[in-house]
Amino acid sequence: MIVPKPLIGLTTTRLPIPSGGHTFGINESYVKSVANAGGLPILIPLELSNDDLEVLLPRLDGVLFTGGNDIDPRRYGNQPHPKVEGVDADRDRLEIHLVQTVIQSDKPFLGICRGCQVINVALGGSLYEDLPEQFPGEVHHDNHDHSRNFLAHGVDIQSDSRLAQIMTSNHAWVNSLHHQGVRKLAHDLHETAIAPDGLIEGFELPGHLFGLAVQWHPEELQEHEYMRKLFQIFIHSCKAVNSIIPKQDNI
């Protein structure tokens, strides 16, 4: 008998194509990491309305908020900034609504890089629009000139956190591919990982079945067991949802 895999919605990015127009997509490493952990990845196009999301979400067992371009600073009460790039109003709208709906329905979620930032914004937090300008320090956070699995710096992990249980350690080395970061953490969130310069690199939502986000890219570090385990525990939580919540009729 084929055991049903949990359906995992993955947020997407709008990308231009040479012939004109756009496509929706994500890096292959997200899909592979979810699939290798036992999930069935489903890409969520940005054109869905909020009503469409309300129809889709009951069919999903969990959501992965992926990386990508910057969030419009007006979404967290700031003004446009010259270093903010690639703002997509549809993506901001869809992801913020999806974060709030996922939390209301107690569906497992994992945020990565931009995903970490948008979860914070959706819950009332704010961001540094550009770390080199607004949060200069000893850590170089934007390492796009290195390979995506380059271990750029360490993070200290709160010992009482879900993340520490997953990593089985209070410290981890991570990659770093971002020029923005959490400025004010949303009230409902609890910080779990801190960079050497004090920047928040991870947080979780206490009391949620699985609600966790990291600023680094664990999907690019799957050669490390503790990074694979992050996806495995996420998918395991989604399997629990799959087993106790009946799906609606076919889409």
Catalytic residue at 116?
no
Question: Residue 243 — very low, low, confident or very high, per pLDDT cuts 50/70/90?
Answer: low
- Asked whether residue 56 is assigned to any structural domain, the reply reads yes
- Asked whether residue 18 is assigned to any structural domain, the reply reads yes
Question: Residue 242 — very low, low, confident or very high, per pLDDT cuts 50/70/90?
Answer: low
Q: Among the options 113, 129, 153, 178, which is catalytic?
A: 113
- Asked whether residue 17 is assigned to any structural domain, the reply reads yes
| CATH code (residue 169) | 3.40.50.880
Catalytic residue at 217?
yes
Amino acid at residue number 174: V
Q: Among the options 141, 153, 178, 217, which is catalytic?
A: 217
Question: Residue 2 — very low, low, confident or very high, per pLDDT cuts 50/70/90?
Answer: confident
- Asked whether residue 148 is assigned to any structural domain, the reply reads yes
Q: What is the pLDDT of residues 21-75, one digit of tens each?
A: 899 999 999 999 999 999 999 999 999 999 999 999 999 999 999 999 999 999 9
8 versus 242: the higher-pLDDT residue is 8
- Asked whether residue 139 is assigned to any structural domain, the reply reads no
Q: What's the total number of domains in the chain?
A: 1
Catalytic residue at 190?
no
> What local confidence, expressed as pLDDT, does residue 249 receive?
45
The CA-atom distances, in angstroms, between 195 and each of 87, 108, 141, 156, 182 are 26, 25, 10, 7, 12
User: Mean per-residue pLDDT for 214-242?
Assistant: 95
- Asked whether residue 249 is assigned to any structural domain, the reply reads no
- Asked whether residue 95 is assigned to any structural domain, the reply reads yes
Where in 35-189 does DSSP place strands (E)? Answer: 40-44, 62-65, 109-112, 126-128, 153-157, 171-174, 181-184
- Asked whether residue 89 is assigned to any structural domain, the reply reads yes
> What local confidence, expressed as pLDDT, does residue 18 receive?
87
Domain of 193, in residue numbers: 7-131+144-244
Q: What is the pLDDT of residues 143-188, one digit of tens each?
A: 999 999 999 999 999 999 999 999 999 999 999 999 999 999 999 9
Nearest to 14 by CA among 75, 92, 126: 92
> What local confidence, expressed as pLDDT, does residue 251 receive?
35
Q: Among the options 95, 129, 201, 219, which is catalytic?
A: 219
**In the predicted structure, residue 106 carries a pLDDT above the cut 80:** yes
